[in-house]
Copies of this chain bind each other. A is one copy, B any other.
Amino acid sequence: MGRVYNFSAGPAMLPEPVLCQARDEMLDWQGSGMCVAEMSHRGKEFMSIATQAEADLRELLKVPDNYKVLFLQGGASSQFTAVPMNLLHGGGRADYINTGSWSKKAIAEARRFCEVHVAAATDDCKFTRAPAQDELNLTEEASYVHYTPNETIEGVEFPYVPETNGKPLVADMSSTLLSRPIDVSKFGLIYAGAQKNIGPAGLTIVIVREDLIGQPITGIPTMFDYKVQADADSMYNTPPTYAWYLAGLVFKWLKDMGGLEAMAAVNARKAKRLYDLIDGSAFYSNPVDPQARSWMNVPFTLDNPELDERFLKEAKAAGLTTLKGHRSVGGMRASIYNAMPEAGVEALAVFMQEFERSQG
């Protein structure tokens, strides 16, 4: 078949122009006679790729000069460990906001290294909303405040950036980074697995304020020490070079698309198309507070779950794949990251309406 519209939560679609360029350069990057995956990471060819990728990411996110941008391995799950190891700074406590599955994983790992104070939790409503600023019970003893701006599984997104009274704010932005402009200066540390909006799985971006690094706990793996990685320009050991290159192509594509303000407008339209359809239907439902609905992950259920399998089968036949919801939530989930074209969302919307008409 031709290319499908793939609604996977991650790894997820990549922009077709990025794939075409990677394909065309596979055997010979710009006259070097090498695939990027074959290049020494210390050679001038790869160094130029790495440097340009970082510059483009900094430009897209307007990263202030006093922040380091790291290109690491290990996914957000490694950052669940690295964050307390690097940011406790001799303290024994951190505040975490619990808004869903990924918050819970971050909390569970942090508890192995410090006392976690849950500053707010929305489990009372099955993680279908974001807590308001005045619900956040932040503590004086915390070394930092951690939250998950977008919960990939529950489809919940904070509509605001928490105010933390000067405490470093740490954000797992795996499924939202680059979906819209952000003010990096509000954060102490931002991390994101690449496999949603950045590039292929196997690359992890960390953006960290310089003054926060250099005081790790005893027994930190050297690879997890932000200071070591920052001092080595993310090349303490061999970095995931090909993933870094693909991410660089994605950054270039985002610039070609008009940058993050333009992406935000497109992403807002894509999400609205699906939520409007769901809200206007007695056949589909989404349980999330409209103020906190994710632009990136749109979970929805069929009111008659007996139709789930048929929905998935017919969607797949229509070239709309990977719509099955996470097992912990059930139903469907349409992940519509930057690389999902508006035409893909429109095709899904038309399919959903048609399916409702034929089955409803």
List residues of A whose CB falls within 8 A of some B CB: 1-4, 6, 8-14, 16, 19-20, 22-23, 26-28, 31-35, 37-41, 43, 73-78, 80-82, 85, 109, 112-113, 193, 195, 199-203, 219, 221-224, 236-243, 246, 319, 321-322
Contact = CB atoms under 8 A, between A and B. Distances in A.
Contact of A78 (B41, B201, B223, B240): B223
Most B Cβ at <10 Å: residue of A32, A219, A242: A242
A27 B38 contact: no
Contacts of A41: 11, 201
Contacts of A201: 37, 41, 238-242
Nearest to A22: B26
Contact of A13 (B14, B20, B38, B223): B38
28 contacts: A1-B33, A3-B28, A6-B38, A6-B39, A8-B39, A8-B40, A9-B40, A14-B35, A19-B27, A20-B27, A37-B199, A37-B200, A40-B322, A43-B322, A73-B74, A74-B74, A75-B237, A78-B221, A112-B219, A195-B238, A200-B240, A202-B202, A202-B239, A202-B240, A202-B241, A202-B242, A202-B243, A240-B243
Given A14-B35, A76-B237, A221-B78, A3 B23 contact: no
Nearest to A224: B221
A204 to B, nearest CB: 9
Main secondary structure of the interface of A (DSSP, over half): loop
A322 B32 CA distance: 12
A254 B224 CA distance: 34
Contacts of A78: 73-74, 221, 223, 237
B3 A33 contact: yes
Contacts of A113: 219
Given A37-B199, A81-B221, A109-B221, 12 more contacts: A1-B28, A6-B33, A8-B38, A11-B39, A14-B37, A40-B322, A77-B237, A81-B223, A200-B241, A201-B238, A202-B243, A221-B224
